[in-house]
């Protein structure tokens, strides 16, 4: 199984559940604090790949929820600069296995990437923190 570097927001229930799934799937975790990491634009960009810029943002961030930040209207360079300045805007978790990086916890994407045990996932979609209201 994989050794996963997992950047979390400490205390996030969603991140805790995602870690449980990874551990139950046999992966080893090195947990790091998303908020205290020294991010650069270049490093962050590697996590997002070809995703739409709007998918880079944490949907539970108060600025996103309130409409003060509208991810669909932001260009990549501006989004990255905003996230370096305010890491709470970044979709969680950020994960790395060797040189491969991934943002967010889409179950199918994570399964295709490193493998997940179906029975570890459970009924609730672990993509978002429990505080995120379905839209």
Q: Is 131 a catalytic residue?
A: no
Cα 81 from Cα 4, distance rounded (Å): 26
For residues 14, 7, 57, 37, the Cα torsion angle rounded to the nearest 10 degrees is: 140
Catalytic residue among 12, 95, 103, 129: 12
Helix/strand/coil for 12: coil
Q: What's the count of helices (H) and strands (E) in the chain, helices before strands?
A: 6, 4
Q: Which residues are catalytic?
A: 12
């Amino acid at each position: 199984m994989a050794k996963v570097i997992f950047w979390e927001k400490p205390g996030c229930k969603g991140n805790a559940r995602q870690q449980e799934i990874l551990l139950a799937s046999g992966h080893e975790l090195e947990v790091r604090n998303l908020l205290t990491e020294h991010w650069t634009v270049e490093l962050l960009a590697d996590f997002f790949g070809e995703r739409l810029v709007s998918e880079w943002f944490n949907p539970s961030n108060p600025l996103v929820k309130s409409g003060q930040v509208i991810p669909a209207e932001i260009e990549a360079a501006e989004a990255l600069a905003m996230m370096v300045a305010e890491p709470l805007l970044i979709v969680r978790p950020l994960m790395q296995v060797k040189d491969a990086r991934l943002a967010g916890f889409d179950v199918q994407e994570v399964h295709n990437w490193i493998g997940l045990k179906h029975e570890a996932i459970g009924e609730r979609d672990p993509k978002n923190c429990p505080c995120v209201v379905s839209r």
